[in-house]
Amino acid sequence: MDKIIDIEDRIPTLRERRKKRTNRKFTLLLVIFLLTLIGLLYFQSPYSHVQKIVVKGADLSSNQEYIDLSGLMKGQSMWEVRTSNAEKLLQKKTWIQDVSVKRSGLTTITINVKEWKRAAYVESETGYDVLLANGEVYQSKKEVFPIDAPLLSNFDNEKTINRMLKQLTKLNEEVLSLISQIESDPSEADPYRIRLFLNDGNEVRAVIPSLAEKMNYYPSIIAQIGESQKGVIDIEVGSFFQTYLDLYNPQPKEAEEVEEIPE
C-alpha cells in the first residue's frame, strides 16, 4: 500500500525550491548588471582608447610619418581601429615592401614595417636620393649619406639603372660593402661599361651584364694580387690588373706590361 504524504509535509520543500529559484534569478540579474556597469566604465575609461602606437622597422622614414600615413591616432577607440585599413594605406607607399598592423595589449597598436632594401644612391638637387631594390627612387625628407650602399654617377638611362640594380642584388654582401661608387662609362662598342671605386683603394672596370658573376670573385682576386698593391682591375672580358703607377705614370720599359690574373 502506497504511503500518503500530507501536503503540509511538502510545504517546506516547496518553499526551499522557490527560494533557490529566486536566488538564481537574482544572481543572474546581478551578474548582468555588474557586467553592464563594468562595460560602461571600460568604454568611459582610458583603457578603451589607443594610448600608444609603436612603429618597428622604420629606417627610410620616421616613426611619426608612418603613424600619420596609417590614419591611426592616439585617443581613438580601440574598437574603432581597423588594422586592415591601416595596412592598405601603408602598402600604397612604394618604399614599403610589407607591413602588418596589430593590437598589442589593451591600449597599444604596433606597426611592423619592412622597407625595400637600399640598393644605391643617386645625386639630386637637394643631396642624395635613395634607389631601392625594387627600382623606385625614395626622396628622403632627412639628410642622407651614401655610406651603406654605392653611389651611382652618370646613370641617365632608366633601363641601364634597372639592369644595374639587378646586378647589385646578386652581389655578396661582403663585396657590395666594398663598393663606394659606380660610374657609368659607356662607349660606342659597349653602352654598359662601368667603373667601380672601392673602399680598399682599387678601381674595377666591368660591364653591367656580367658584374655580379665576376665581382663575387673579388676577394680571391685581391688575394692573388696582394693588398699592398693598388690599381685597376679590368674584368670586362678576362681579369687583368695594372697598378696606378703603371697605368698613369708608366715607365719606359714597363709601359706595355699588364699582369693577367689567373682564372
Between the CA of residue 74 and those of 26, 67, 208, what are the distances in Å? Answer: 41, 10, 49
Q: Are residues 196 and 251 in the same domain?
A: yes
Q: Are residues 40 and 53 in the same domain?
A: no
Residue 17 CB neighbour total at 10 angstroms: 10
**Higher-confidence residue: 237 or 255?**
237
Lowest mean pLDDT: which of 13-22, 49-58, 233-242? 13-22
Closest CA to 25 of 81, 17, 207, 173: 17
Q: Are residues 141 and 214 in the same domain?
A: yes
pLDDT greater than 90 at residue 113: yes
Q: Are residues 177 and 86 in the same domain?
A: no
**Higher-confidence residue: 218 or 6?**
218
Residue 244 domain-assigned?
A: yes
Residue 63 domain-assigned?
A: yes
Residue 99 domain-assigned?
A: yes
Residue 183 CB neighbour total at 10 angstroms: 16
Q: Are residues 32 and 58 in the same domain?
A: no
- Among residues 60, 84, 115, which one ends one of the domains? 115
Alpha-carbon distance of 263 to 250, in angstroms, equals 26
Alpha-carbon distance of 181 to 249, in angstroms, equals 24
Residue 195 domain-assigned?
A: yes
Alpha-carbon distance of 76 to 56, in angstroms, equals 21
Task: Report residue 22: phi and psi, to 5°.
Answer: -65, -40
52 — pLDDT class (breaks 50, 70, 90): very high
Residue 11 domain-assigned?
A: yes
The whole-number average pLDDT for the span 144-163 is: 88
Q: Are residues 163 and 106 in the same domain?
A: no
Share of the chain above pLDDT 70, in %: 83
Q: Are residues 75 and 141 in the same domain?
A: no
Residue 1 domain-assigned?
A: no
- Among residues 115, 132, 147, which one ends one of the domains? 115
Q: Are residues 33 and 84 in the same domain?
A: no
Q: Considering the chain, what is the average pLDDT of its residues?
A: 85
CATH of the domain at 88: 3.10.20.310
pLDDT greater than 60 at residue 254: no
Q: Are residues 105 and 77 in the same domain?
A: yes
CATH of the domain at 224: 3.40.50.10960
Q: Are residues 124 and 109 in the same domain?
A: no
Domain boundaries, position 93: 49-115
pLDDT greater than 50 at residue 256: no
Summarised one tens digit per residue, pLDDT across range 84-103 is: 999 999 999 999 999 999 99
Burial 3-15 (b: 16+ CB within 10 A, else e): eeeeeeeeeeeee
H/E run at residue 194: strand 193-198
Q: Are residues 124 and 233 in the same domain?
A: yes
Q: Are residues 105 and 192 in the same domain?
A: no
Q: Please, which residues bridge with residue 103 across strands? A: 109
Q: How many domains are there within the chain?
A: 3
Q: Please, which residues bridge with residue 109 across strands? A: 53, 103
Residue 206 domain-assigned?
A: yes
Residue 2 domain-assigned?
A: no
The whole-number average pLDDT for the span 18-43 is: 71
Query: What's the number of CA atoms in the CB half-sphere (13 Å) around residue 246?
Result: 16
49 — pLDDT class (breaks 50, 70, 90): confident
Q: Please, which residues bridge with residue 183 across strands? A: 153, 195
Alpha-carbon distance of 237 to 216, in angstroms, equals 15
